[in-house]
């Protein structure tokens, strides 16, 4: 009888030990990988949201320039934190900039430049992703929209020209 009780206690101790090792493994290995993956996905989404908003602005400005009369168009803009869509009145292009964390890696090898500030592991702290989108002649105006923001931007053409508000 005493022998049977000792085995039950040993099984409980072994079970607790196995569960503890499993939790340590999950906490030390799986959780950091999942966190980095989630941050990388969030960064890619931020770049995609900004690029989509910039594309909407380019399309609205081009439509206004090609319109024969007055027009007004409302565009939904979604910009994450540390992002900007801008157009200089003299340039025939819309520029978007997004700053994303460096922990998830470069979200876009072509348009993202690593910062010179490095983290303790020697990786860039962030990347700055930029792109220029061309406008048709006469579509440029001066505006700058900075995130984080969700808003309705109005592109308007009248006798004084094209404006964004």
- Token pair of 91 as six digits: 């340039």
Looking at per-residue pLDDT, the higher value among 151 and 36 belongs to 151
CA dist list (Å): 84 to 80, 127, 144: 9, 14, 7
In angstroms and rounded to an integer, the radius of gyration of the C-alpha atoms of the chain is: 26
Give the three-state DSSP class for 90. Answer: coil
Cβ atoms of 59 and 71 within 8 Å: the answer is no
Looking at per-residue pLDDT, the higher value among 4 and 164 belongs to 164
pTM (2 d.p.): 0.79
- Token pair of 149 as six digits: 């923001």
Looking at per-residue pLDDT, the higher value among 78 and 6 belongs to 78
Which pLDDT score is estimated for 20?
95
Which alpha helices (DSSP H) does the chain contain, by range? 2-25, 31-66
Give tens-digit pLDDT for 88-113: 888 899 999 999 887 766 676 667 88
CA dist list (Å): 27 to 11, 20, 41, 60, 144: 24, 11, 21, 48, 43
Please give the span between the terminal C-alpha atoms of the chain, in angstroms, as a whole number.
85
Q: How confident is the model at residue 13 (pLDDT cuts 50, 70, 90)?
A: confident
């Amino acid at each position: 009888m005493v022998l049977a009780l000792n085995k039950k206690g040993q099984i409980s101790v072994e079970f607790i030990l196995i569960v503890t090792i499993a939790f340590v493994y999950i906490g030390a290995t799986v959780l950091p990988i999942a966190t980095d993956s989630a941050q990388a996905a969030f960064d890619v989404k931020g770049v995609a949201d900004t690029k989509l908003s910039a594309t909407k602005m380019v399309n609205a400005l081009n439509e206004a320039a090609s319109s024969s009369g007055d027009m007004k168009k409302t565009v939904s803009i979604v910009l994450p934190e540390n992002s900007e869509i801008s157009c200089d009145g003299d340039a025939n292009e819309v520029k978007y900039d997004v700053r994303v964390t460096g922990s998830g890696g470069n979200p876009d090898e072509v348009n993202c430049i690593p910062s010179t500030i490095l983290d303790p592991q020697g990786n860039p702290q962030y990347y700055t992703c930029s792109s220029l989108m061309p406008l048709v002649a006469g579509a440029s105006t001066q505006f700058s929209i900075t995130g984080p923001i969700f808003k309705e931007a109005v592109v308007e053409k009248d006798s004084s020209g094209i404006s964004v508000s």
